[in-house]
Structure 1
């Protein structure tokens, strides 16, 4: 009987491994000719799923995905008291012609700045935090390589700071579980402004990021988490493209297709 039980257990483990490997290999169809990586963590089942595991370990500039920790840091240091705190747009310092979107060319609060990914708002926030406090906070958050030497208002924009897809998910897990060295209030505010979609079936939260990679290519990120059916799925996707247009939609589309294919998002 013991032998039979051990055989059944072994067969079950092999089947689970085969399913996991099958899922991983199937993810290639979503990337097609797009170089990239994908990490998913299933909280309830304590299980990871990865596409291109070598690249999942590779660090890249976080671009605007750093707006998540930047928001936390702004709140925690008191530079921003709440999500409605407005920073006036300085037209001379941030000319309209340099904006990625017309939405940037106005005053913003934290809520609208993260929604429209307003780079100037977060550059101003970082300058108000200052190098000493920023360095201390980035290290305390254990965010990527923790290197802010590239300039207080640009170290996350294809500069010194770098993070892998694996590390993005690890950070989001700590953030969601309130295991970061920041207040519950700061976490609650940032969780609120990260919500992208909320339905009776699921809540999708996250942040995109993208820009030049420094080698003639562009990098696109989409990181976040999906709450559904009593479970949470954390994800991080990054892709390469020849220009911003080539990464803008695919970073989100690929992620959504994978989540839908796995049955976590409705068709």
Structure 2
């Protein structure tokens, strides 16, 4: 426990020390019923890549279509041809729970071909999930591999919270079982103020005109929902680096929300 506390303190220290190297694009908090914006900072209507936050929507699609079965099925083995830039955690047999926890890209790529472009587009359209564009990179025919990663699929922070609100209220055109099984694989933590927060991170880098990635301007997402004493809020936090440095933008996006959530909502939820 002591080692974990020290490690967490180091992570927070690193994130805080590099926070000045990034700007908050949007922080938005909304009540579960999607009626009232409780807090908004920045511009929340511009669309960018959802990156790995798309895994929430993809899980709903996969469970509803019967491709995913529960938290541990299907368990798929790692193959040498799969992307492994996520380290050792990506080089292991992966089930839906591990997929979400470690944000395993290759597992997503086993689900999307089984759904196909037409069904992915239909689901995303029904979800009002951004522009619902799964064409992928221009003239590359790679939408099933990377549409959600600095490519054609785009979503705004406001659309993120609207989508999450509908999911929590079972207001999406998927089965209740699909929603319940998706909720079951999202990691959660508790703040010192008693909020239980569920969320998913996402990180990606803009494309230059040459097609290369701009590693100085990484996006970091953290989206999810929080519950305390019968109150449920949904949120989206998006930042963007202004220079390249060691701390991941996605890590900082998550840490800043978790560390500041109690203060963020204290004025609207006593």
Q: Taking structure 1 as the reference length, what is the TM-score of the superposition?
A: 0.79
Q: Matches of residues 79-228 of structure 1 in structure 2 within 5 Å? A: 79-94=67-82, 98-150=84-136, 151-197=143-189, 201-215=194-208, 216=214, 217-228=217-228
Structure 1 132/257 Cα, relative in aligned 2: closer, same or farther at 3 Å?
Answer: same
Structure 1 43/129 Cα, relative in aligned 2: closer, same or farther at 3 Å?
Answer: closer
Question: Bigger CA drift: 71-80 or 131-140?
Answer: 131-140
Does the Cα contact within 8 Å between 1:99 and 1:105 map onto a contact in 2?
A: no
Higher relative contact order, chain-length normalized (CA < 8 Å, sep 6+): 2
**Structure 1 residue matching 2:161: 3-state secondary structure:** helix
- Following superposition, the deviation at residue 202 of structure 1 comes to 3.5
Q: What are the Cα deviations for residues 65-99 of structure 1, in whole angstroms up to 9, with x where unaligned?
A: 0000000101111111222113423423215xx42
**Structure 2 residue matching 1:93: 3-state secondary structure:** coil
Q: Distance in 2 between matches of 1:140 and 1:170?
A: 12
- Following superposition, the deviation at residue 263 of structure 1 comes to 5.5
Structure 1 vs Structure 2 CA RMSD? 2.3
Q: What are the Cα deviations for residues 121-156 of structure 1, in whole angstroms up to 9, with x where unaligned?
A: 011111121122212111111101111111112110
Structure 1 47/90 Cα, relative in aligned 2: closer, same or farther at 3 Å?
Answer: closer
Q: Taking structure 2 as the reference length, what is the TM-score of the superposition?
A: 0.79
Q: Distance in 2 between matches of 1:108 and 1:193?
A: 13
Larger Rg: 1
- Following superposition, the deviation at residue 249 of structure 1 comes to 2.5
Equivalent pairs, count: 231
Q: Which runs of 5+ in 2 are unaligned?
A: 1-18, 137-142, 209-213
Q: Which runs of 5+ in 1 are unaligned?
A: 1-30
Q: Which has the higher helix share?
A: 1
Match of 1:254 among 247, 252, 256: 256
Q: Distance in 1 between matches of 2:44 and 2:73?
A: 36
Q: Distance in 2 between matches of 1:90 and 1:105?
A: 5
Structure 1 132/262 Cα, relative in aligned 2: closer, same or farther at 3 Å?
Answer: closer
- Following superposition, the deviation at residue 213 of structure 1 comes to 1.9
Structure 1 231/120 Cα, relative in aligned 2: closer, same or farther at 3 Å?
Answer: same
Q: Distance in 2 between matches of 1:157 and 1:211?
A: 6
Structure 1 134/263 Cα, relative in aligned 2: closer, same or farther at 3 Å?
Answer: closer
Equivalent residue, structure 2, for 1:38: 27
**Structure 1 residue matching 2:222: 3-state secondary structure:** strand
Does the Cα contact within 8 Å between 1:41 and 1:49 map onto a contact in 2?
A: yes
